[in-house]
Structure 1
Amino acid sequence: MTFSPSMRFALFGAGLTAIAYGLARFAFGLFVPPIKADLGLSPEVIGVIGALPLVSFVLASFVAPFLAVRMGSRYTAMLSGTIAASGLLVIGQAPDAVSLGVGVFACGIATGLMMPALSGAMQAVVERSMHGRVSAIMNAGTSIGVAVSVPAVLFLADAWRFAYGIFALLAVVGIVATWRVIPSVSRVTPSDAAPPPPISRLQWWRLGRLSVFSFLMGFVANAYWVFAPDLVVTLGELPPNATGWLWLAVGVAGLGGAVVADLADRNNPPITQALMLMMLATSLALLAASPDNLFLATFSALVFGLAYMSLTGLYLMTGIRLLPGHLSLGPVLPFVAVALGQAAGSPVVGVLVEAVGYADAFAIFAAIGVVVAILSPLYPRTIGEEPEEEPDYETGLQGAYDHQLRDAEGNPLDPVTAGVSKS
């Protein structure tokens, strides 16, 4: 089978995303039970440590675009891989909570640097018409990384240090591949380039509402990302390696998130958000109610994976539509808001687990998810002053990126001048 250059780059980008997001960031929750037992950590401490990679992700997201310009895409991606490999090695050798926190903090930095580097390279090697589809494939790398971490916990649940050593080795392989595949390019703005249209007060208002919803979704979802495996082991008394099936379900179901987000763009985003948030809350409640039933726990992971990836895809497209011409801002803010919500939610879950137990803590977060879903009619829908003034464009993620390359009056923008980016 022969792939086009754009598809080859998309698949390679998905592989790097799998390492930076799936292994360096989200695989941590999968190994919480053995790590907690070996290092003698309380749920409260795990909650604080679980928030650290999200904080570092936000910090890195603000500096990554400048690094991509100064260093070029190749070296920014290699820096991300180097930090990821270092963080994974530190986690694998961690003797206490402090060193463990340092490792996961470093992994969050690597995550924040990777996507801006890939976006800059995409502009140089991928046709503009393919930007949306290529970005969707690269974004799916998160689910792939989560899924491929499953064999490690199935066979190495009691050897988590060795598993993290393997993850670090994969990160080194990614660094070498980056040197050979990604060009050393950065965004260049022509001297006669027209400035992007100013952001109106209405656009800021709608972007603010989107960011609030993104924050609240991240707040609720992080209970599952960090504590779901420990819940089924501690409360359900399942063997530690059984948690691998949860992450496999999350990864497989997450691949369908791009399809659901695309359907939402064709139909009614507020209704889709409400439905996905209800599914997110259901996954938390179902896991808390049946932690000792592996079948139901795995089903809850399927529901969670589909809901989470669908919502992040929906927020990505909405951010693109709200700020046409401001390509490095519209998609970035909702993803930063999700990370901030996750960082805020992780220690709160840890405190609640200490105070009321896993079942009640997850039930409280499920109730918060239901409340947020009820508020979905406030979800922003359009980019213009009035819905009927919105120009015609192709639906779906590709349409969102194509529309992003137009100014407020619908005139085409140069993709390099506009500086498209995804965080």
Structure 2
Amino acid sequence: MRMTMTETLDRRTVWGLTLAGASLIAACYGLARFSYGLFVPVFRTEFDFGAAAAGALASGSYAAYCAAIIAATLLTPRFGGRAIAVAAGATATIGTLAIAVAPNTLVLALGVIVAGASTGVASPPLAHAVARSVDTARQSRVQTVINAGTGLGVAIAGPIALLTHDQWRAAWIAFAALSAAVTLWTVFAVPRTVDSREAGDGAPARVLVPRPLFPAESPRLVWAALLLGAASAAVWTFGRDLLVSAGGMSETASTICWILLGALGIIGAIGGDLVGALGLRATWMITVTVLALSTVTVAIAPTSVAAAGIALGAFGAAYIAASGLLLLWGTRVYDAHPAAGVGLGFLVLALGQTLAAPALGGIGDLIGLRWAFAAAAGVGLFGALACAPRVTPSPGASSAARPGASRTPDPESPARRA
């Protein structure tokens, strides 16, 4: 199914794209990337490394994400949403399988890096496919539901970890099998959506670079994404490790808390609807503040299953919502080139995680993980208050970016506020 820029999908096909997209995000983010944090305690025991090394491995995953999202952002308009989305699923499958069979720390690190790269490949093609093939009125909801697949993947990873107990390799084999199945589904559910002025006449598509490269709102988008990444790195990398090492929780209790993180994270899908009710700026400030408060709560009460479970659940919902808002924010700043907007926002989000993970691990080794979590919470609170969005349309962008589609007014635009 090759989509031109003037076609939109029917309701049934949109549902197929939404479910397949959410499943791909679940495989890449929830299984291939963020499950690393779930297994940090067993990896530290199996391969004999400390918190700083665990943070460095996580940083390598985030760095691979940064490189991959740049490539995916540039290649998606040329090769289309389907081809790049399938590449994301294949990368997740290879990375999780490498982790499953890792005989030493080097192979483990390579697997973690490849698995992390899959997330960078996944986001731009899905955002591009939605922006080019879904009716404008439904795009915010579809985008945020797909983005909430992260919570679904984390929620699935927890029970698999419980069922496999000490057989962690079996868990990662299961992750690889699920990733392969989702990749096959993606082949049939994601439209091709190639961008080219010559689309349909047999001419090859071109790599499209947005003009201007950095619109007026993009610096605020970059700072907000960077701080969100830094603030979230503590929980994603050391969340379960803190519950086990500082809180003394059992494997079962700490894994249940992780499951709550993913299960309640799915609630973050309502972020798109909250934007319609409250506006992008207010919704951002609320969600990132909740993320910061939940992070510090985990540091304060790692011994309480109830408190930690509620805090991690709130973190999951806030993170999924905030990353979904970042996605919407990017597509508004770069409304003529949605893949570029999503690519920039998620690239800098991962850059913040890349920089923060080893730094937080170093803090953990020096004065304890609780202080690392407190530092991350402070960064998040600052990001919520200082970098809230003030979206204006990209210069020169218009509804002509997608012929035949009418644009919904930006809730934060001057016309809307007036």
Q: TM tier, shorter chain? A: 0.7 to 0.9
CA change 1:110–1:151 in 2 (3 A) is: same
TM-score, normalised to structure 2, is 0.84
> 1:263 offset after TM fit, Å?
2.0
| 2:48 pairs with 1:40 | yes
**Residue type of the partner of 2:364?**
V
Equivalent positions of 1:159-308 (< 5 A) are: 159-182=167-190, 186-190=194-198, 198-199=211-212, 203-204=215-216, 206-308=217-319
Structure 2 unmatched runs, 5+: 1-10, 406-418
Cα separation, 1, equivalents of 2:175 and 2:73 = 26
CA change 1:127–1:267 in 2 (3 A) is: closer
**Residue type of the partner of 2:285?**
A
Which residue number corresponds to residue 95 of structure 2? Answer: 87
Give deviations 1:44-69, integer Å, cap 9, x for gaps. Answer: 00000011121111111111144435
Give deviations 1:158-178, integer Å, cap 9, x for gaps. Answer: 111110011111122223333
Equivalent positions of 1:125-144 (< 5 A) are: 126-127=134-135, 129-144=137-152
Residue 340 of structure 2 aligns to a residue whose secondary structure is coil
> 1:180 offset after TM fit, Å?
4.0
Give deviations 1:189-215, integer Å, cap 9, x for gaps. Answer: 23899x9995398x33x2101210110
Which residue number corresponds to residue 358 of structure 1? Answer: 369
Residue 338 of structure 2 aligns to a residue whose secondary structure is coil
> 1:408 offset after TM fit, Å?
4.4
**Residue type of the partner of 1:62?**
I
Cα separation, 2, equivalents of 1:164 and 1:226 = 17
Which residue number corresponds to residue 383 of structure 1? Answer: 392
Farther-moved stretch of structure 1 (33-42 vs 111-120): 111-120
Equivalent positions of 1:49-128 (< 5 A) are: 49-69=57-77, 71-122=79-130, 126-127=134-135
Cα separation, 2, equivalents of 1:185 and 1:276 = 32
CA change 1:190–1:295 in 2 (3 A) is: same
Which residue number corresponds to residue 401 of structure 2? Answer: 413
Residue 150 of structure 2 aligns to a residue whose secondary structure is helix
**Residue type of the partner of 2:371?**
D
| 2:320 pairs with 1:312 | no
Give identity over the alignment, percent.
31
> 1:273 offset after TM fit, Å?
3.1
Farther-moved stretch of structure 1 (52-61 vs 363-372): 363-372
Residue 339 of structure 2 aligns to a residue whose secondary structure is coil
CA change 1:375–1:328 in 2 (3 A) is: same
Cα separation, 2, equivalents of 1:365 and 1:319 = 24
**Considering only aligned residues, what root-mean-square deviation do their CA atoms show, in Å?**
3.0
Cα separation, 1, equivalents of 2:71 and 2:366 = 38
**Residue type of the partner of 1:286?**
T
Which residue number corresponds to residue 36 of structure 2? Answer: 28
TM-score, normalised to structure 1, is 0.83
Tell me, yes or no, if the aligned pair for 1:21 and 1:142 is still in contact at 8 Å. yes
Residue 331 of structure 1 aligns to a residue whose secondary structure is helix
Residue 149 of structure 1 aligns to a residue whose secondary structure is helix
**Residue type of the partner of 1:254?**
G
**Residue type of the partner of 1:382?**
V
Give the total of aligned pairs: 390
CA change 1:328–1:98 in 2 (3 A) is: same
Cα separation, 1, equivalents of 2:210 and 2:27 = 36
Tell me, yes or no, if the aligned pair for 1:188 and 1:416 is still in contact at 8 Å. no
